[in-house]
Chains A and B, each alone.
Chain A
Amino acid sequence: MYVAVKGGEAAISAAHELLARERRGDLGVPEITPEQIRDQLTLAVNRTMCEGSLYDPELAALAVKQARGDLIEAIFLLRAYRTTLPRLGNAEPVDTAAMRIRRRISATYKDLPGGQLLGPTFDYTHRLLDAAPVSAREASEPVAPASAEEPVPHVTALLDREGLIESNAATIDGAPVGDITRDPVTFPAGRDIRLQALARGDEGFLLALGYSTQRGYGRTHPFAGEIRMGEVEIELVPEELGFAVPLGRLTLTECEMVNQFKGSADAPPQFTRGYGLVFGHSERKAMAMALVDRALRTEELGQEATTPAQDQEFVLAHADNVQATGFVEHLKLPHYVDFQAELALLRQLRAEWQAARADRPVEDTCAEPQAGREAAE
């Protein structure tokens, strides 16, 4: 039980005022604009869109600015705004095979149809701080933006053609897709629900869980079959028209992990899949998601779930950083009455302990009081 937060209006408005000033910083330095954030802090904007579950770079940039760069706060702002939006329809599934590719790498084949396209990546930088990373180069001619002209087949499609990897088709065609923003997640959750929860899950949490599977807490022997980033077209079929109308483009990052085998008496061994798909250019998140997706498939692949990353309830119930921050930070709210109850209980336990000690023979000094009740909330 929490005491409702009220009163202290003057103090609260003063706190808002201070927040606004801190946000603005030194008035001698030009104010940052959402456009600058959108174009120059793109990866912060991408993460905000991804975990905020709303693809809108302008608003995500505004949220990053308003939140002073606190991305979980920015995600919270975007989520709150998202809840006010009316829904107009369900878009058609995006076709990542038709993605206009800006980056595409595979760690499983050196030479492959469509080739390796490095694109804008930190991977080969030396991680040396550079005080003038861009300005010195601004004057020079921009590098021609590399993008593949023709559709680039998925690496897993190549494996699939030979039957070497489990097929996706049976699990996606025609089945109704759940919606975690409309129906509460119940366990065991289907893969559609799990992927939705992972897609908006906290990058740090998924990264740690994915890492834990690599370190032995539920090994899946993953290979980064493919990571691709680029633009896909999003389409809607309005009922009154009956054909698909393009709505615009999204930047997505997709990761397909190829993991060790599943086979049975009826089916020969095959590679298994882990899948990650996120808004914007968010490779780490897509990879972590794919690792955790595969870990969460342990039971459907006929193995026993024994580690944290394989435990659906543990992973899905704790992946959402807006929920997590809400419950952690609510501890700042007044708990005066709760605390008084705990205090009274502690005083009572101590009084009982003192009384028991006074009654006891002198040599018995290691007695303990009865365990108190669990603090419940």
Chain B
Amino acid sequence: MPALPAPEPAFRDPVRQSQTVFRLVMEAMASPGRIVAVPSGLAPPAPLNGPAAALLLTLCDYETPVWLDEALDETTDVATFLRFHTGATLARSPSDAAFAAIAAAMPPLSLFAQGTPAYPDRSTTLIVQVETLANDGWRLEGPGIRGSARLRAAPLPADFVDRLRVNRAAFPCGVDIFFASDRTIAALPRSVRVSEAA
């Protein structure tokens, strides 16, 4: 029987490292648009980047179905890594997912679980890998932001701000989004109002 390739290692100190990352995740979600450095020290299987892997390792477990986009699902490496280290199952469709990891083409937000008015928490949290995260570009307003903030994440579809507007309109339902660049994360919770830079 040929030896199975071992999945890439995850956190060296899972308890402390996942607690640290969880703190960063809360910080990012509490201050929409704030760019937070995530020092993960991870070497996840391509094309998953370090911060996205850190979020998945921190947030996912046996009870959170994860949906991977085509780019991440192209080989079984990412799925094996995730399943081995977190025990998470893979969601058959985006609407079944507690978390979704997206490395390439952004699917319509409406494909994901939106929650219900009684249980808005039953929605998908998106982890979207981007190349650039910078505090310029879109104008963000809403809870957690004093006045307004700026965020630019790229590459994303040209009409992404319109999609976020539709997502905001469904409040308290809708999805929450993390962006993950090579070293940093930023969050757009469903409560944020995003407009193109004036």
User: Which chain A residues have a beta carbon within 8 Å of chain B's beta carbons?
Assistant: 86-89, 182
Contact = CB atoms under 8 A, between A and B. Distances in A.
A88 B87 contact: yes
B160 interface: no
B62 to A, nearest CB: 5
Nearest to A184: B119
12 contacts: A86-B61, A86-B62, A86-B87, A87-B61, A87-B62, A87-B63, A87-B87, A88-B62, A88-B87, A89-B62, A89-B87, A182-B63
Nearest to B4: A240
Chain A interface helix/strand/loop/mixed:
loop
Interface in B84-143: 87
A86 B62 CA distance: 8
Contacts of B61: 86-87
Contacts of A182: 63
Nearest to A179: B63
A182 B63 CA distance: 10
Contacts of B87: 86-89
Interface of B: 61-63, 87
A86 B63 CA distance: 9
Contacts of B62: 86-89
A182 B64 CA distance: 12
Nearest to B119: A184
Contacts of A88: 62, 87
A263 B142 CA distance: 61
B39 to A, nearest CB: 24
A12 to B, nearest CB: 27
A220 B87 CA distance: 45
A88 B86 CA distance: 9
A86 B61 CA distance: 8
A88 B63 CA distance: 9
A182 B121 CA distance: 12
A89 B88 CA distance: 10
Given A88-B87, A89-B62, 7 more contacts: A86-B61, A86-B87, A87-B62, A87-B87, A88-B62, A89-B87, A182-B63
Nearest to A90: B62
Contacts of A87: 61-63, 87
A87 B63 CA distance: 8
B133 to A, nearest CB: 31
B92 to A, nearest CB: 15
Contacts of B63: 87, 182
Contacts of A86: 61-62, 87
A286 B87 CA distance: 34
A182 B62 CA distance: 13
B60 to A, nearest CB: 11
A63 B63 CA distance: 27
Q: Which 3 A-B pairs have the closest CB atoms?
A: A87-B62, A86-B61, A87-B63
A247 to B, nearest CB: 15
A86 B15 CA distance: 12
A182 B98 CA distance: 14
A88 B83 CA distance: 11
A181 to B, nearest CB: 10
Nearest to A183: B119
A86 B88 CA distance: 12
A216 B62 CA distance: 46
A187 to B, nearest CB: 13
A183 to B, nearest CB: 9
A368 B176 CA distance: 56
A88 B61 CA distance: 9
A182 B61 CA distance: 14
Nearest to B62: A87
B38 to A, nearest CB: 22
Nearest to A87: B62
